[in-house]
Structure 1
């Protein structure tokens, strides 16, 4: 079996189950970063006003 490097803590590991991480803890840390918005994809931002969908209903229009 070849040694792999954990993408979170950079320790080497050879166990299976949480790849590309060495443990559930490292997988959970990575998930937490995604959920908190710590990871971003570079690029131009969207104009929220221009691209936002309209959620008004016909009932709102009658008031």
Structure 2
């Protein structure tokens, strides 16, 4: 099996990659959106905005809540 990033031989410690560097490159690609798993449904901007507002509201409430 070869490294999916550079094509080199894999190392057992970093499998399926050859090194920590290639593993980190792969992780960075997932995190910046270069890789994406397609969704079966279309995104609804209003639904996303509502979910973000709710999450922010909950976070604010948790921060402002007085300890017992």
Q: Which of the five TM-score ranges fits, normalised by the shorter chain? A: 0.5 to 0.7
Aligned CA distance change for structure 1 residues 20 and 46 (closer, same or farther; 3 Å): same
Shift >2 Å, 4+ stretches? 42-45, 50-54
The Cα RMSD (Å) is 2.2
Higher-RCO chain (CA-CA 8 Å, sequence separation at least 6): 1
The alignment's TM-score, normalised by the length of structure 1, stands at 0.63
Give the TM-score of the pair, scaled to structure 2.
0.59
Which has the larger share of strand? Answer: 1
Higher helix share: 2
Structure number with bigger Rg: 1
- Structure 1 unaligned residues grouped into runs of 5+: 58-63
Give the alignment of 1:26-45 within 5 angstroms.
Answer: 26-43=22-39, 44-45=41-42
State the alpha-carbon separation in 1 of the partners of residues 6 and 25 from structure 2. Answer: 10
